[in-house]
Amino acid sequence: MTAPLEFGLDTFGDVTRDASGAMLAHAQVIRNVVDEAVLADELGLDFIGLGEHHRADFAISSPETVLAAIAARTKRIHLGSAVTVLSSDDPIRVFQRFATLDAVSNGRAEVILGRGSFTESFPLFGFDLRAYEALFEEKLDLFIALLSQKPVTWEGKLRPPLKDQRVYPPVEHGTLKTWIGVGGSPQSVVRAAHYDLPLMLAIIGGDPARFAPYVELYHRAFKEFGRPAKPIGVHSPGYVAETDEEAREALWPDYKPMRDRIGKERGWPPMGRDEFVSEAERGSLYVGSPETVARKIAATAKVLGISRFQLKYSAGSLPHEKLMRSIELYGRKVVPMVREMMA
């Protein structure tokens, strides 16, 4: 029997506005994120993921710290990163922080490891961006060695070796659930299969069906390795309101500045309204009424065969109150509709 589809939420702690239109302090945004996660737990959602960034427009630079605060106020929701930029961190410290989160949450911690589509952490922590690939490959190899929770003997090129080194605290039950976050690299897909890890696809533009070849590659790699495939998840942006028109009109004024700001850094042209509508109708922007969003999630789940869908519910400076309403509609209406469609 196929496992039921899990439903999650993701946020980077986008800095939002207050009722007067003024931008909130980062500290208040972080407190609001905790409240948003508490609501997600009350609604019975399966996962909340917090992204790691080191820039003015996103408030969360230390996901584990915020997740620990969420753990203290929630009961069942799983808590993870979205993603942890392993390339510019220390694998041992990442493992220790998430093992600690697993302890305080009574076994609810997960980590999604990635190279990071934003690169501000490299100069901030003193890493050479030219070593982007090598840093991730070597640090991931060490992190995988830590998951066994046995004394680690390991040697690489970018840090001193380890010999029979134990790392504390151990995960209390089983192993730390670890995903590989992938934005579209075939090498990353095969790497996830090589390390026997579940795959989280970050689909933030275009038809989600275009990722079907990556899913096929993932399953083919597992077959060649002689192991059953691990779960696949999808992370995509979206916003839920009572009607399609209300959702689009609420999201557009905040989504466009965020998309254009990031796009300017990456050489993309400004987003026009036609592109926004196209992404909402045929792309990877899950914006609309509960029924519209549910149909789109169900279609993605079926075409890609995923086990979890994570909605990146924050977008630019959309106010906290609107985010809370979107989360409520997602949990109370979208999720039951998708489950009925998938039955």
- Percent of the chain at pLDDT > 70 equals 99
Q: Go through the chain and tell me how many residues it has.
A: 343
Alpha carbon distance 88, 121 (integer Å) = 6
Mean pLDDT of the chain: 96
Alpha carbon distance 203, 208 (integer Å):
7
The string of pLDDT tens digits covering residues 208-265 is: 999 999 999 999 999 999 999 999 999 999 999 999 999 999 999 999 999 999 999 9
Q: What is the helix, strand, coil percentage profile of the chain, to 5?
A: 50, 20, 35
Nearest-angstrom CA–CA distance, 13 and 312: 10
CB 122 within 8 A of CB 128: yes
pLDDT for 223 equals 97
Tell the residue number behind the tokens 């106020």, with chain if given.
Answer: 73
| Contact by Cβ (8 Å): 288, 248 | yes
Other C-beta atoms lying within 10 Å of the C-beta of residue 329: 20
The pLDDT score that the predictor gives to residue 3 is: 74
| For helices 132-147 and 91-104, angle between their N-to-C axes, nearest 10 degrees | 50
Question: Is the Cβ–Cβ distance between 214 and 182 less than 8 Å?
Answer: yes
- Within-domain flag for 319: yes
Please give the Cα distance from 236 to 322 (Å, whole number). 18
Question: What local confidence, expressed as pLDDT, does residue 2 receive?
Answer: 62
pLDDT digits (tens, 9 = 90+) for 85-136: 999 999 999 999 999 999 999 999 999 999 877 889 999 999 998 999 999 9
Q: How many structural domains are present in the chain?
A: 1
The answer as to whether 196 is a domain residue is: yes
Sign of the alpha-carbon dihedral angle for 177, 181, 182, 187:
negative
Residue pair 343/52 in contact (Cβ under 8 Å)? The answer is: no
| pLDDT score at 312 | 98
Task: Tell the burial category of 309 from Cβ atoms under 10 Å away from its Cβ (0-12, 13-18, 19+).
Answer: buried
Q: Is position 28 within any domain?
A: yes
pLDDT(1) > 50? no
Model pLDDT, residue 282 = 96
Residue 157's pLDDT band (cuts 50, 70, 90): very high
In-domain check, residue 1: no
Question: Which residues constitute the domain of residue 327?
Answer: 6-342
The pLDDT tens digits for 267-308 are 999 999 999 999 999 999 999 999 999 999 999 999 999 999
Contact 48, 311 (CB under 8 A): no
How many other C-beta atoms can be found within 10 angstroms of the C-beta atom of residue 334? 28
Place of tokens 């109370």: 332
Secondary structure (3-state) at 308? strand
CATH number of the CATH domain containing 280 = 3.20.20.30
Closest CA to 317 of 260, 253, 264: 253
